[in-house]
A = this chain, B = another copy of it.
Amino acid sequence: MLKDKNEQRTSISELGEFGLIKHLTKYFKIQQESTEKAIGDDAAVLEFSDKQTLVTTDLLVEGVHFDLAYMPLKHLGYKAVMVNLSDVYAMNGTATQITVSIALSNRFPLEAVEELYAGIQLACDTYKVDLIGGDTTSSTTGLLISVTALGEVTEQDVVYRNGAKPNDLLVVSGDIGGAYLGLQVLEREKQVFAANPNSQPDLEQYSYIVERQLKPEARKDIIKLLKDLEVKPTSMIDISDGLSSEILHLSTQSEVGCNLYEDKIPLDPQVISTCEEFEIDATTIALSGGEDYELLFTIKQEDFPKIKANPHLTVIGHMTDESEGINLVTRANQKIELTAQGWNSFKKD
């Protein structure tokens, strides 16, 4: 809906695959000591010496994970990196390198791919990760981005999903539900625009939640904060599929139960007001929304004093014995069993 009709169009086929990669990556700088050799050989060469290597990968598909009608390509490039870095931070590690592979149909001119890479580069610069490889190919339809992120962590620092114990506190960073609601706002504007192409979207009052959807940030700062506070989580995961689904992962993998308190879930005022406008329940959005890329982790009770004054961290529950189950304790003090209703890309209506 923000398409520039005068955009320049250079055909990618003129450059060829090697020319394209060279062109797109020429302004990327190497920032990590562990990168011995980045792009330009059969494989990248990395040197993690005594640290452990973290590897994670995510695939974003046009029409499934994003809609270019409202997702600017630069934001998409940025988000594709964030989604992966978030997984590295969720291991309590430092993200160090990424590979980016894209498949794109010939409806995309060079300028579009440059926009995408501008977003990838901004992410690399901001988060100090090196682009070390990738593959660029044509597709018969649409755009697809596959990112693999690497990171490093010492054996002492690594945090898995399975270390939570009964009585550990359940903590979440930032606030949640915004990304999903932002998507609902963008979808509504798309419908309005389809009905009336002259309409001008006014997204001012939704700026925070729209940004949560279009330009999420991976919580590198929280990993640093926890180190500074000398708190090592007993288990951790990032919130990509919704709070409910992630709590189930931590609890089942740790073989513990959990009580999540509805009134403790951190919600931005814009999330609350937009939920009222859309007439949907804010708790449902927080539990099932996904794409917040906040960190969800458990800490020992004794670490509570270290985090309690921190505005970026909220205790939302505690772990229990496995036999007590995984529950939401409502505002009315009722216990309801939590079920995963995270997003399933294979389920369509």
Which of B91, B150, B348 is in CB contact (< 8 Å) with A42? B91
Say yes or no for A347: interface residue by CB 8 A criterion.
yes
Quick check: B37 and A43 within 8 Å, CB to CB?
A: no
Q: Which of A22-63 contact B (CB under 8 A)?
A: 36-37, 40-50, 52-59, 61-63
Stretch at the interface among A127-135, A165-173, A327-335: A127-135
Interface size on A, residues (CB 8 A): 75
Q: Say yes or no for A13: interface residue by CB 8 A criterion.
A: yes
On chain B, the residues within 8 Å of A43 by CB distance are 54-56, 87-88, 90-91, 93, 149, 151
Cα A156 to Cα B109 in complex, Å, equals 43
Q: Would you give the 0/1 interface string for A118-158, flagging 1 where the beta carbon is closer than 8 Å to chain B?
A: 00000000000000111101111110101011110101001
The residues of A with any CB-CB pair to B shorter than 8 Å are: 12-13, 15-17, 20, 36-37, 40-50, 52-59, 61-65, 86-88, 90-91, 93, 97, 99, 101-103, 106, 132-135, 137-142, 144, 146, 148-151, 153, 155, 158, 160-162, 236-238, 253, 344-348
Closest B residue to A237 using CB positions:
B42
Q: A16-B344, A17-B344, A345-B17 are in contact. Are A103 and B144 (CB under 8 A)?
A: yes
Pick the most buried of A36, A139, A146, A158: most chain B CB atoms within 10 A of its CB: A146
Cβ contact of A55, chosen from B44, B52, B87, B139, cutoff 8 A:
B44
**Once bound together, how far apart are the Cα atoms of A299 and B222, in whole Å?**
50
Q: Is the CB of B140 within 8 A of A253?
A: no
Nearest B residue to A36, CB-CB: B52
A133: chain B residues within 8 A (beta carbon)? 55-57
Contact present for B139 and A91 (CB under 8 Å): no
Q: Which of A91, A106, A138 has the most CB of B within 10 A?
A: A138
B42 and A90 contacting across the interface, CB-CB below 8 Å: yes
| Closest B residue by C-beta to A92 | B42
How far, in angstroms, from A102 to B148 measured CA to CA in the complex? 13
Minimum CB–CB distance for A212 against chain B, Å: 20
